[in-house]
Structure 1
Amino acid sequence: MHYSLKRLLTICSFLILISCSPSYYEGLPNSEPLVIVTNSFDESISFIHGSEHELLTTWNLDHPVSGTLLLDQNNLLTYSSIHSKLYLYDLHSGKEVQSFSVSSGVDDLLLLNNKLYLTQREDNELVILSLKGEILDRVKVGYSPQYLYHHENALYVLNYEDTTISVIDLTTNQVTTTLPSIDRATDMLIVNDSLAWIGGHGRGADITNHIEIVDLNRQEKTGQLFAPTMPVAFLKQDNSILVLSHGSNQLREINAETNEIEAIVDTVANPFTMAALDDFLFVAGYDSNSVEIVDLNTLTSQKRINVGEGPLDLTIREEVN
């Protein structure tokens, strides 16, 4: 009787110990190129070899995740729009090495000058953290800030619900300008010294079919480019700009100087994001649970790789020589 009770207590103690221990996952090679895929629906991260184009492994996490950020070649930070905790993982060992809490969920996260810049829409703030998770500054911006775009010494905060973009000087952490935007903007790209493109979803039945062009000097809208439906992501590639429209499942190549459409190709179902590595483009299909690999020179599909459910974010790790 005493032996059984002692054994039961030992088992319970062990279960408590492992439940409180950091998580471990399959480790990744140190120097190989990676495409890191955040699967938001099933709370997992898939790792694709960046040059061999094969799925290496998938980590099934025990917490929500909507994006990742590399602090260096080996340390990966995860964040979530619905979870107020950030987790740091060592890629080579697969070990969770640190976690820290913030006041609410995080929609976007950038590493600039050894500081973390994150959007918190519940508080209408941009929050600046040290790499240890200490709050360095808070900047009030527009309503429901979600997405970030960095250019030179400025950080552009796309306020999702109030059709504005808050421009922050990275030296002073002050909002210096407010630019006009569109309903539920998701991405922007500064095309030249004076013009920016803005894309997004639109609101309700009034979906966005155009890229909005904004004059940065005059701080006003100056035109539109037709790119249906819902142009949500941009990527500059040589003299062209790639535009991903997730409502029509299409990828467009637009000449950066003439604004002429040079190509339109179909892609994965409900694509939200894309990223380039070497001569290939990786497109995440939220509804297809796959990543499509596209040859950047020909815009032809080379392969589709099945990942977790709801791939929403891509992070690139280049090869280390």
Structure 2
Amino acid sequence: MKKWVFFIFSLAQLIWLAGCTEKSFEPIERDQDFIASLNIQEPSLDFIDGQGNVMATWLFDKAYSGAILLENDCVLLYGHQLNEIDVYTLSTGKKLYSKKVKLGTTNVYYAENKKQFFIANSKTNTVTSFDEKGNELATQKLGNYPMSMAAYKDKLYVINYKDTKLSVVNIENLKVEQEWPIQKSSHGIAILEETNELWMGGHGEGSKPNSSVKKYDLTTGVKKGEIKMPLMPVGLTKTKDAILVVSHGHNELYVADFDGNVKWEQVVGANPFAVNQFKDNIVVAGYDDHTLYFIREGQVEKTVDVGKGAFQLLVREEKM
């Protein structure tokens, strides 16, 4: 009996110690603006301030392939080969919660106006909605390999990467309302409410790489035209007055106005997949050279070394 009690006590101690040694990271102050680089070859997250200084680096022991900000003080991390997502509080550096999910997460999108996030899965070919606490709300079967997502008003737009259709679903119940014909291997999405358009990039397929961004009517899904941006434009970000596009096939950054006119372009980075705006800079992430390029008025003002495989950029700025 004494041996059994000792065993239970020892087991309880081990469980308690395991809970106490949950990994935490260097906190990021709530009022600190940053651009963060998610690096996926050796998984890590670098936080960089407005002067281009690396404030903190979070090193991970999981193969995260993507991240999103939830509200202002949380980051959600996911991986295509992981069966759970992890949410950390930035101001404490501690894990807020984990949530079991199916293997095959390709992308997670946060709709701020709904306080919900959406998980696209390539193995189940579904999109699933969750509230901010990780409670599942609804799920819907879509096309083959759903990945890129964007929301506008009461609609969620989902590109099915290995299919020839884009799914338009009701953001509340995830019911499919429209399906648009698109090119296979489409990737990258931006919504322009100013012109009622959806812009879409892509890799292309086989021996026919994609060399343009397509424009679609946001209401009908009718294709309205193309903008030449060779080669393989896959990273699209909308700012207050421009669309930023990186084409990783030619290591090219394009800056276009809302009418689709390319204002200027520049060769930058090695195999760039992500672009964003931070303060007065356009920031491009070079995947192969592990470098962020801070560009102002068409000139590289600063470069910042980050972890291997810079793949995604997260921006937090005080809203003016």
Report the TM-score when normalising by structure 2. Answer: 0.88
Deviates more, 1:162-171 or 1:107-116: 107-116
The whole-number CA distance in structure 1 between the counterparts of 2:168 and 2:176 is 5
Q: Name the CA shift for 1:256/1:22 in 2 (closer, same or farther; >3 Å).
A: same
1:275 aligns with 2:269: no
1:224 aligns with 2:243: no
Partner of 2:32: 32
1:97 aligns with 2:92: no
Partner of 1:255: 257
Letter in 1 for 2:40: S
Cα-to-partner distance string for 1:214-251 (whole Å, 9 max, x where unaligned): 23455333432211000112233444322211111111
5+ long unaligned stretches in structure 2 = 1-9
5+ long unaligned stretches in structure 1 = 1-9
Q: Secondary structure at the match of 2:17?
A: helix
The whole-number CA distance in structure 2 between the counterparts of 1:117 and 1:67 is 13
Deviates more, 1:237-246 or 1:93-102: 237-246
Letter in 1 for 2:35: V
Q: Name the CA shift for 1:256/1:26 in 2 (closer, same or farther; >3 Å).
A: same
- The aligned length equals 306
Question: How far did residue 81 of structure 1 move?
Answer: 1.8
Partner of 1:72: 71
Q: Secondary structure at the match of 1:17?
A: helix
The whole-number CA distance in structure 2 between the counterparts of 1:66 and 1:241 is 24
Partner of 2:129: 128
The whole-number CA distance in structure 1 between the counterparts of 2:89 and 2:253 is 34
Partner of 1:117: 118
Partner of 1:150: 151
Confirm or deny: 8 A CA contact 1:85 1:105 kept in the other structure: no
Deviates more, 1:112-121 or 1:153-162: 112-121
Question: How far did residue 20 of structure 1 move?
Answer: 7.8
Letter in 2 for 1:231: P
Letter in 1 for 2:249: G
Question: How far did residue 65 of structure 1 move?
Answer: 1.0
Cα-to-partner distance string for 1:149-208 (whole Å, 9 max, x where unaligned): 112221100100012110012234211111122221121223454433210111222111
Q: Name the CA shift for 1:26/1:238 in 2 (closer, same or farther; >3 Å).
A: closer
The whole-number CA distance in structure 2 between the counterparts of 1:83 and 1:105 is 7
After superposition, the CA RMSD in angstroms is 2.3
Q: Name the CA shift for 1:261/1:95 in 2 (closer, same or farther; >3 Å).
A: same
Letter in 2 for 1:100: K
The whole-number CA distance in structure 2 between the counterparts of 1:319 and 1:220 is 37
Deviates more, 1:151-160 or 1:125-134: 125-134
Confirm or deny: 8 A CA contact 2:213 2:227 kept in the other structure: yes
Letter in 1 for 2:139: R
Question: How far did residue 302 of structure 1 move?
Answer: 1.0
Cα-to-partner distance string for 1:2-48 (whole Å, 9 max, x where unaligned): xxxxxxxx9xx779935983112222223110112111110111111
Q: Name the CA shift for 1:59/1:158 in 2 (closer, same or farther; >3 Å).
A: same
Partner of 1:312: 311
Confirm or deny: 8 A CA contact 1:33 1:320 kept in the other structure: no
Deviates more, 1:166-175 or 1:265-274: 166-175
Cα-to-partner distance string for 1:44-88 (whole Å, 9 max, x where unaligned): 111111x12111121111111122222232221111122121111
Partner of 1:207: 209
Confirm or deny: 8 A CA contact 1:293 1:302 kept in the other structure: yes
Q: Secondary structure at the match of 2:105?
A: coil
Partner of 2:3: none
